[in-house]
Homo-oligomer: A and B are copies of this chain.
Amino acid sequence: MAKTPTFDKRPSKILRVGKGFKLQDVDPGSTPGYDGDKADGHKLLAEMDDKLGGLQEQLFAESRFGGRKRVLLILQAMDTAGKGGIVNHVMGTMDPQGVQLATFKAPTPEEKSYDFLWRIEKEVPAAGMMGVFDRSHYEDVLIHQVHRWAGAEELERRYAAINEFEARQAAAGTRIVKVMLHISRDEQKERLLARLDDPTKRWKYSGTDLQERAFWDDYMDAYQKAFDKTSTEAAPWHVVPGNSKWYARIAVQQLLLEALEGLDLQWPVPDLDVALERDLVLRS
Contact = CB atoms under 8 A, between A and B. Distances in A.
Interface of A: 61, 64-65, 84, 87-88, 91-93, 95-97, 99, 101, 103, 132, 134, 189, 192-193, 196-197, 199-200, 202-205, 207, 210, 213-214, 267-270, 272, 274, 277-278, 280-282, 284
A218 to B, nearest CB: 14
Contacts of A282: 189, 193
A268 B82 CA distance: 21
Given A97-B134, A199-B267, A210 B284 contact: yes
Contacts of A93: 92
Contacts of A196: 274, 277-278, 281
Nearest to A64: B203
B103 A193 contact: no
Contact of A95 (B61, B84, B214, B274): B84
Contacts of A281: 189, 192-193, 196, 210
A213 to B, nearest CB: 6
Contacts of A132: 96
A134 B192 CA distance: 38
